[in-house]
A and B are shown apart, each in its own frame.
Chain A
């Protein structure tokens, strides 16, 4: 058992802990922090696995952009909101049971279907370092890359539209 493997286990445990904390934490800010720690642990796992690109994006986009945004919004909102005080909905018990059921079902599926087969003819393991990955990515998948910009533009327009309709219904 190498140090790498140990680190993977460690980060995995951290991620799981973060997930559980998300469920039990009362205040949204704590939930957000738990999520951030979970994400960072996952980033650590990716780094350990050598998938540097994903690790970098995980930190930059998720933690750096999405979660910062989220934390900012949490700070904006009223802390005395009843939903901040009472954590759980009526679905607590059925929700937990169903979640366990789903996890079990997924696990059984994975065991039953076995590991995905290695594609024949696949050359040596591709590099997930930033530079070779980026070159390969833009050569093979440049169209998808460009199409994502369309998605983002649509998201921006939608966000603006939501804000405006909110204003109109207010006024």
Chain B
């Protein structure tokens, strides 16, 4: 099934795009959203594999990733809020006090 290759490729590209976003964008919120994009890419890959192998477990993992994403966002957003309140900026390049 050619679709499998295609979907996997799409998944890789999305993952790479998310990763590049995490690396190159300054804004912490945008970085968070790029991470969501990476998770979505992973979900796509899992669904593809699940269909390919005709098993349920891929879809189950997807469900778990949803939970993780929800938990992540529930913690990440407050952290972002605290950061913006304390440092009055969301620029991650400014958060460099921990260095060797």
Say yes or no: B47 contacts A51, CB within 8 Å: yes
Say yes or no: B19 contacts A62, CB within 8 Å: no
Q: Mark A38-72, 1 if CB is under 8 A from B, else 0.
A: 11001001100101011001100110011101100
Q: Is the interface of A mostly helix, strand, loop or mixed?
A: helix
Number of interface residues of B (CB under 8 A): 72
Say yes or no: B37 contacts A19, CB within 8 Å: yes
Which residues on the B side are within 8 Å of A125 (C-beta)?
A: 51, 54
Q: Give the docked Cα–Cα distance between A112 and B33 (Å).
A: 31
Q: Give the docked Cα–Cα distance between A45 and B32 (Å).
A: 23
Of A5, A9, A19, most B-chain CB atoms within 10 Å: A19
Point out the residue from A19, A70, A86, A137 that lies within 8 Å of B63, measured CB to CB: A137
Say yes or no: B13 contacts A141, CB within 8 Å: no
Number of interface residues of A (CB under 8 A): 91
Closest to A77 in B: B84
Which residues on the A side are within 8 Å of B60 (C-beta)?
A: 137, 140-141, 144
Q: Give the docked Cα–Cα distance between A155 and B76 (Å).
A: 10
Say yes or no: B52 contacts A118, CB within 8 Å: yes
Once A5-B3, A51-B59 are accepted as A-B contacts, the answer to whether A28 and B30 lie under 8 Å apart by CB is yes
Say yes or no: A116 contacts B24, CB within 8 Å: no
Q: B: which residues have CB within 8 A of A?
A: 3-10, 12-21, 23-30, 32-34, 36-37, 40, 43-44, 47, 49-56, 59-60, 62-64, 66-75, 77-82, 84-86, 89-93
